[in-house]
Amino acid sequence: MKCRSCGHPAIIDVRRHNAAFCGPCFVRHCQEQVRRAIHAFGMIGPDERVLVAVSGGKDSLALWDLLVSLGYQADGLYLGLGIAGYSEPSAGAARSYARRRNLHLREIDLPNDLGFDIPTGSRAAKRAPCSLCGTSKRHLFNAAALEGGYDVVATGHNLDDEAAVLYGNVLRWDLAYLGRQLPVLPGGDGFARKVKPLVRLSERDMAAYCVMQGIDYMIEECPMAAGNRHIGYKNALNDVEARSPGTKAAFYFGFLERMAPLVASVAEEERRELHPCPDCASPTVSDICAFCRLVAKAGGHGRLPAAQEEP
Ligand code: Q46
Ligand code: ZN
């Protein structure tokens, strides 16, 4: 197997592109895929400040590394979820990456800073852990970005994640979610822009990228993910992809091109109904936003701690 770009021996094949690469050319291939996603969808302007949602896993650390290597000003934000056996080593991976690359990582710890953690908070609120976690992440990344003067929040969702979420939304024909399932959600009216620069890369690509770049990431998945519907959708799509490589990309990019414009009006309508939450000022369609309601039930509060000084 020879590298498609330079002809040297290849060490990884990328079946979706029907190609194989040596180490350095694979790293360039990943950079090129991110550059193309950013430009095609207008994700990040050249002088904009980016806040990367960092979990300590492969996708978010690879994303941070790729954005910095492409010349973007990107800081990280790590959220401590208070999940025993998972949160500490994940924080360690995020901190050691930031330290070694001399990058700025802000940390918000749910138990210490907001008075709740995901496992006990979700039991108290009678909600699935991932529902409390997802609502908290969306709210806190947005609030921290606005407070810190960032233009964009970047998350490490890759092609496998996006295709699996799309599959779930299609199975339920959830038009409101479908209307919002875009690689870029615009900013304004209390929102920072949200972008997903890894949509052209797979989970396997990101693991390989981390190994090639010497990035030590948290390998174990969050224990709360077990039994999650999302994993079932991923496995189903992996079976199809193994039989016909390129199906996931065709499914996801076909949706963006042909279907997303048809359901965009549902999301736009919802956006018109937004008003600031009386408790935290975040945009919401309800009386009080989902985050404030959930946090109250989980026994915590929603005020962000003061940001640390730049190191
Ligand atoms: S971290 Fe949070 Fe995930 Fe853990 S509790 Fe669920 S949503 S599985 S990406
Ligand atoms: Zn609120």
C-alpha distances out from residue 8 to 24, 27, 196, 209, 301, Å: 10, 14, 32, 18, 56
Mean pLDDT of the chain, nearest integer: 95
193: enclosing H helix or E strand: strand 193-195
Residue 241 has pLDDT above 70, yes or no: yes
State how far Cα 9 lies from the chain centre.
33
Q: What is the pLDDT of residues 61-119, one digit of tens each?
A: 999 999 999 999 999 999 999 999 999 999 999 999 999 999 999 999 999 999 999 99
Pocket of ligand 1 (CB under 6 A): 118, 129-130, 133-134, 222, 224-225
Span from the CA of 131 to the centroid of ligand 1 (angstroms) = 8
Site to probe by mutation for ligand 1, drawn from 81, 123, 224, 234 as the one with most ligand atoms within 8 Å of Cβ, is 224
> What is residue 11's DSSP assignment?
S
Tell whether the model's pLDDT for residue 309 goes beyond 70: no
